[in-house]
Structure 1
Amino acid sequence: MHPLEIFELVIAMLLAIIGLHYIAHRLGLPPAVALLTGGSALAFLPGLPVIALDPELVLVLFLPPLLMDGAWFLSLAHLRQHIAGIVSLAVGAVVFTTAVVAVVAHLILPELPWAACAVIGAIVSPPDAVSARAVLQRVKLPSRVSTLLEGESLFNDATGLVLFRFAVAAAVSGMFSIGEALGSFAVLALGGALVGVAIGALWVLVIRRLGDDYLMIAASTLTCWTAYIAAETLHVSGIIATVVTGLICGWYQHVLFSANVRLRGTAFWQVMIFLLEASVFLLIGSSLRGVIQRVGGFEVVIQQMAVPVLAIVAAMMVARFGWVFLSDAALALLGRLGLTRRRPLGARAGMVLGWAGMRGVMTLAIALTLPQNVPGRDFMLVAAFAVILVTVLVQGTTLGMLIRWLGLGASDEEAPRKTVAEAEAAMAAAQLRAVERNAYDADGTLIHPQLLDRYQARARISANYVGREDHYHEGLHAHFDLVLVAIAAGRAELIRLHRAREIDDDVLHDLERDLDLEELSALSAKA
């Protein structure tokens, strides 16, 4: 394709993303479902070129920022608290699913060697960070379940990639060593973590010295690709390096970023992540045509592959449920023996955790890297695509309903020591102490009376609010509704003055920014 045609195709794809997101919003569907089905439908429109994804480019383009985004906002306290459960899912569940799928594949297709069956298992075993994010953004879960799903999705790709590489090597050469695989995984994980720490520390040093808002935002945006590429260049895990870097950046951004950088950077980052995340699902759907053509058409898929593929999908789902409930039973047993204080998840949380194993870009990307001489390659490609379709379209659309049916919403079982109201009262008290120390001059004369009155009133109101949130709820909403009405009136007058040429553009932009910040503050307080 001509470069101009490629650019036009990218613009058309971005416009399609907006349209499909709008349709999903109107129909109440998860956006990932609309994008995946829309991309699949667009792939077969006459005149459109076949989308051939370069798997290495897909991984390096999309995976680092999406992993960084998940790690940036992941609570380190929750990560430490639930690290055993995350490792169990990110490593144990992936290995167990690979083994179960390999056994089922060999029973259904005995002509495939065991190594090739293991390749199938490694392809479909790791749940996807992008798919998990797309679903978790739309549901409310207890913090323990949410942290387990988010943490698993960030780290399990590394396990899946190691299993895949060794399984492919065994399928091609006929040789496999468990000791070598374990050693390789340890080197990749530890090396990736060290690279992540180094890049994170470098980011902290750079951000402290840049001193320019736009440079800080640009440097932070590029950090995810820097960590991933640096780790892959050193032949260690780029996934773990990116996640560790994201955890460090997320921890230090609260003290390194000014309010201006945080507002601007977050707005830019959220739009970029939205476009990248949506593009992933649209590209996955668009690649369906190429996969179908590669294996010989729909007839071949339906007649020869449908039953084995459905068996693979079922085995993958059963394996995840099996691991979740077996792990929970083991945790309960250890608790009765007095070897752990962690409580089991329980049946309801286990059901949600088992049903939330959506697959996505990682499954398709590693499937597309399969060498031509791997036995059963065409079947593996179809199985990978089927797993993505079923998990996103079926599990992704029903997860919210399952959570509501089970009554498993966000709970207070792991609530922090202070509520929002208590934290606000503590901040107001600290602000008042700072104002009181500086409200008087050296002679003891009050020089900031209005400021002192304002912060005294704020501290008093915040203290009275604690424990009486319901009592003040209606009045606070009415208060901030009136603030928003006043802001809207000021904005209308500002526009009138500009249109009447009584103020110039600089004045318009300066005052408009003040109104925008005031409106954001009011909306945040109301929420």
Structure 2
Amino acid sequence: MGIYFTLTILIGISAVFSYLNHRFIKMPFVIGLFFLSTLLSLFIISSKLWNQYYYSEIKDIIEHADISDYILNIMLGFLLFAGSLHTEWSDIKRQWKPISLFAFGGVLISSATVATLMYGLCLALGVYVEFIYCLIFGALISPTDPIAVLGILAKANVPKKIESIIIGESLFNDGVGVVVFIALLTTLKSGSGEIDYGAFGVLFIQEAVGGTLFGLILGFILYRLLRSIDNYEAEVLLTIAFVMAGYATCIHFHISGPLAMVIMGLFVGNYKNKSAMSDHSQEYVHKFWTLLDVILNAILFIIIAFVLVVVDLKSIYICIALISILLVLLSRTLVVYLPKLLLPRFTNIDRSEATILIWGGLRGGLSITLVLSLPSGESKELLTIATYFCVVFSILVQGLTIGKLAKRIAKTDAAPQTNTQL
């Protein structure tokens, strides 16, 4: 299937599902598209009961579509730049302490916790999975997904402080998660079974520090170029070129492309933006990236829903996947409450805010993309199903209820103050 034909199908499905969601279902945009795509995937799976030929054809197309390659190497850079471009750096800077704890230490703690619990769960249920695979699962499921977070929290009416922490965490912790994932995947493919901590440290510095510095350099150069002209057509093209060329360069030199795009987007969107672009140019640049963000989000959440078609839904795998949702929530609780208890002044979050932070740690397309890049085998099948179930729960359950949870907590916190005044 050609690229143009594939895009035609994806855009067509996106348009139809967007209309149906807006006209009838009225869910938040990305949640509605993911929900309808999941229903379509279930319909395709059911077709093997009444038309095995068409089911096999569709499954074969999806299996050979290199989904993880398209998302990681093409779409992710655009999505992260678009998201960070519209993020207020001043809001993130005010919450840098909890963001830094959750985005760096939190990913490592969560990865180790999920891996240990997952390994014990599989042993208890009689399914043997190497511990390295459990560590990989912990690394890919621990980072909160910036694409899911930015697409859902914007309309959830979460308190500004908590929204800033969750968004800031999600923008940075995916870089840490990807670095840990790459190190573990390299160990797996080497066949040694042991992690080389020296090589891991070098890789972390190369990916994370290199991506940060390169993002700052790209952002500054782009800022200077935008400042030197006042033509919105050229300025939009410049931003596109920097995202494409910058991300390709990161891939070539093995530095963190996601982190570089986040830094560049924050730099361009916040550093002296009034002097970089006129109001007219800013309007066009931001509107272009907002629209592109919407289109790519639509395509992304339709693609990841189709993953359900290519996995073997064994009952024991489904059982492990359902329990893994609880394991991920437990690790998220640990990540939020451990710094709160040990460093209360540093994190500066109360119990109500911690509850929202736990429930607002959404997983999404990044986790699905990473698990699809694993070598084929039974372990990949299990982890793909577990990851998919965690993402479905995160988007459809947590995403739909985070706003209601925030509203209920706000009412509960306000009640004692009202009674006191009376």
Q: Does TM, scored on the shorter chain, surpass 0.5?
A: yes
Q: How much does 1:243 deviate?
A: 1.1
Q: Which residue of 1 aligns with 2:349?
A: 345
Quote how far apart the aligned CAs of 1:369 are. 0.4
TM-score by length of 1: 0.70
Q: Distance in 2 between matches of 1:28 and 1:38?
A: 12
- Distance in 2, matches of 1:246 and 1:400, equals 27
Q: What letter matches 2:9 in structure 1?
A: L
Aligned partner letter, 1:33:
I
What does residue 233 of structure 2 align with?
A: 214
Equivalent position amino acid for 2:384 in 1: L
Shift of 1:183: 3.1
RMSD: 2.3
Does the 8 Å contact 2:71/2:369 carry over to 1?
yes
Q: Is the 8 A contact 2:152 2:399 kept in 1?
A: yes
Deviation at residue 40 of structure 1 after TM alignment: 2.0
Equivalent position of 2:253 in the other structure: 234
Q: 2:184 matched to which residue of 1?
A: 167
Deviations 1:466-512 (A, max 9, x none): xxxxxxxxxxxxxxxxxxxxxxxxxxxxxxxxxxxxxxxxxxxxxxx
Instruction: Name 2:375's counterpart in structure 1.
Output: 371
Distance (Å, rounded) in 2 between the aligned partners of 1:408 and 1:132: 24
Task: Trace 1:404-415 onto structure 2 (pairs within 5 A).
Answer: 404-407=407-410
Is the Cα contact below 8 Å between 2:83 and 2:147 reproduced in 1? no
2-side partners of 1:85 and 1:186: how far apart?
22
- Which deviates the most, 89-98 or 358-367? 89-98
Structure 1 residue 159: Cα displacement: 1.3
**1:88 aligns to 2:101 (yes or no):** yes
- Residue type at the aligned position of 1:266: H
Higher relative contact order at CA 8 Å, sep ≥6: structure 1 or structure 2? 2
Which TM-score applies when normalising by structure 2? 0.86
CA apart distance, 1:79: 2.7
2:29 corresponds to 1:10: no
Structure 1 contact 90–156 (Cα < 8 Å) conserved? yes
Provide the rounded CA distance (Å) in 1 between the counterparts of 2:7 and 2:336: 45
Check whether the contact 1:113–1:171 (CA below 8 A) recurs between aligned residues: no
Aligned to 1:247: 266
- Between 1:242-251 and 1:258-267, the stretch displaced more is 258-267
Distance 1:196 1:3, change over 3 A: closer
In 2, the alpha carbon distance for the partners of 1:54 and 1:283 equals 7
Q: CA deviation at 1:356?
A: 0.8
Give the CA deviation at 1:140: 2.4
Supply the AA of the counterpart residue of 1:389.
Answer: V
- 2:155 equivalent among 134, 138, 143: 138
Question: Is 1:192 equivalent to 2:211 in the alignment?
Answer: yes
SS at 2:228 equivalent: helix
Question: Larger deviation: 64-73 or 321-330?
Answer: 64-73
* Residue number in structure 2 paired with 1:312: 324
Which of 117, 121, 125 matches 1:104? 117
Counterpart of 2:200 in structure 1 is 181
Stretch deviating more after TM superposition (358-367 or 194-203): 194-203
Percent identity between the aligned chains? 22
More helix by share: 2
**Following superposition of structure 1 onto structure 2, how do residues 96-495 of structure 1 map, counting pairs within 5 Å?**
96-110=109-123, 111-172=128-189, 173=191, 174-250=193-269, 251-290=271-310, 292=311, 295=312, 298=313, 300=314, 303-332=315-344, 335=345, 342=346, 344-372=348-376, 376-407=379-410
Deviation at 1:7, TM superposition (A): 4.7
Instruction: Quote the offset at 1:18 in angstroms.
Output: 2.5
Q: Counterpart amino acid of 2:357?
A: L
Return the offset for 1:343: 6.3
How far apart are the structure 1 equivalents of 2:7 and 2:135? 39
In 1, Cα distance between the equivalents of 2:3 and 2:165?
43
CA displacement at 1:157 relative to structure 2: 1.1
**Cα offsets for 1:166-215 (capped at 9, x unmatched):** 22233342121234323321221111111112111221232233443211
Equivalent AA in structure 1 for residue 165 of structure 2: L
Residue 481 (structure 1) aligns with: none
In structure 2, distance between residues paired with 1:3 and 1:85? 42
The secondary structure found in structure 1 opposite 2:133 is helix
Change (3 A) 1:7 1:176: closer
The alpha-carbon distance between structure 1 residues 9 and 317, as it changes in their structure 2 partners (threshold 3 A), is same
Is the Cα–Cα contact under 8 Å of residues 318 and 385 in structure 2 kept in the other structure?
no
SS of 1:370 mapped into structure 2: coil
* Per-residue deviation, residues 340-381 of structure 1 (Å, max 9, x unmatched): xx56311100000000111111101111100126x6111011
Shift of 1:74: 2.5
CA distance in 1, matches of 2:230, 2:404: 48
Unaligned runs of 5+ in 1: 336-341, 412-527
Distance 1:62 1:188, change over 3 A: same
Counterpart Cα distance in 2 of 1:27 and 1:72:
30
> Which residue number corresponds to residue 55 of structure 1?
68
Contact 2:146/2:167 (<8 A) preserved: yes
Deviation at 1:387, TM superposition (A): 1.0
- Contact map agreement 1:141 1:408 (CA 8 A) in 2: no
Output the CA distance in 2 between the equivalents of 1:31 and 1:53. Answer: 25
Q: Which residue of 1 aligns with 2:418?
A: none
Name the counterpart of 1:437.
none
2:83 matched residue in structure 1? 70
Q: How many residues align?
A: 392
Structure showing greater Rg: 1
Output the CA distance in 2 between the equivalents of 1:278 and 1:3.
Answer: 17
Structure 1 contact 349–408 (Cα < 8 Å) conserved: no
How far apart, CA to CA, are the structure 1 residues paired with 2:307 and 2:376? 18
CA pair 148-16 structure 1, distance change in 2 beyond 3 A: same
Distance apart, 1:161 and its partner CA: 1.2
- 1:277 and 1:229, CA in 2 relative to 1: closer, same or farther beyond 3 A? same
Question: Contact 2:18 / 2:33 at 8 angstroms: preserved in 1?
Answer: no
Please say if 1:37 is aligned against 2:38: no
